[in-house]
Amino acid sequence: MFNTTGWNRLRYNLYAPVYDAVAERAFRRARREALGQVNWQPGMRVLLVGAGTGLDLPWLPRDVEIHATDLAPAMVKRIAKRAESLGMDVQADTMDAERLEYPDDHFDVVVMHLILAVMPDPERGLMEAHRVLKPHAQLCVMDKFQADDEPAGLARRALNELTSAIATDITRQARPLLETAGFAIEVDRPVMMGSLFRALLARAV
């Protein structure tokens, strides 16, 4: 499968100029609904992993501390620009989601929207999210997932060889990924295209 960190960095640098045109309106409601499930409190320290161009920013509270990362430098520049236009103070950094440069037990909320189906090793990415979260802190996920009780068939796995190279993996299952990484799922509901896109809220245990 042609899905590597280097390839993802390259292609998302290339996608950056047109990303908003494709993803802003399409995922607006799903982002809002996913973030609406979080139990927000003033002063929380929040990390957006794989933040893209910062399309989650408008739906975040203004009284939290926000950090945002992305693998592609071109995306990070757009996060900073969007934060400035919104009048928000956001620390934006280029960073690999599978190797987060933060200490243990550092964040109250980690947001992972449309990244678990893209990264080469989602298990490692979730373990990193778990590491940087405080005990019992919240993980907010929104992405496309294969049904948890229905492993991908041969045709879907074959198609995935193409889709994972140019866009996204279509065979990953949410509950096995999150639970293996040490998360207890509290909310799991469909938000887009039937049950293909799901918003999950989980706790680090």
Q: What is the mean pLDDT of residues 2-17?
A: 89
Q: What is the mean pLDDT of residues 93-97?
A: 98
Look at residue 92 in the predicted model and tell me its pLDDT.
98
Give the span between the Cα atoms of 67 and 73, in whole angstroms.
15
Domain ranges of the chain: 5-55+63-204
What residue ranges in 106-174 does DSSP mark as E strands? 107-113, 133-144
Look at residue 1 in the predicted model and tell me its pLDDT.
46
**What is the tens place of the pLDDT at every residue in 102-144?**
999 999 999 999 999 999 999 999 999 999 999 999 999 999 9
Is 0.75 topped by the overall pTM? Answer: yes
By mean pLDDT, which of 6-20, 31-45, 99-113, 145-159 is the weakest?
145-159
Q: Is the pLDDT of residue 63 over 50?
A: yes
Q: Is the pLDDT of residue 66 over 70?
A: yes
**What is the tens place of the pLDDT at every residue in 42-54?**
999 999 999 999 9
Look at residue 159 in the predicted model and tell me its pLDDT.
67
How deeply is 161 buried, as exposed, middle or buried, from its count of CB atoms within 10 A (0-12, 13-18, 19+)? exposed
What is the third-level CATH fold of 5-55+63-204? Rossmann fold (3.40.50)
Look at residue 170 in the predicted model and tell me its pLDDT.
79
Give the span between the Cα atoms of 57 and 98, in whole angstroms.
22
Report CA torsion sign: 182, 201, 144, 26. negative
Look at residue 162 in the predicted model and tell me its pLDDT.
63
Let me know: does 110 contact 139? Beta carbons within 8 Å.
Answer: yes
Let me know: does 65 contact 84? Beta carbons within 8 Å.
Answer: no
**What is the tens place of the pLDDT at every residue in 150-199?**
777 777 777 666 667 677 887 899 999 999 999 999 999 999 999 999 99
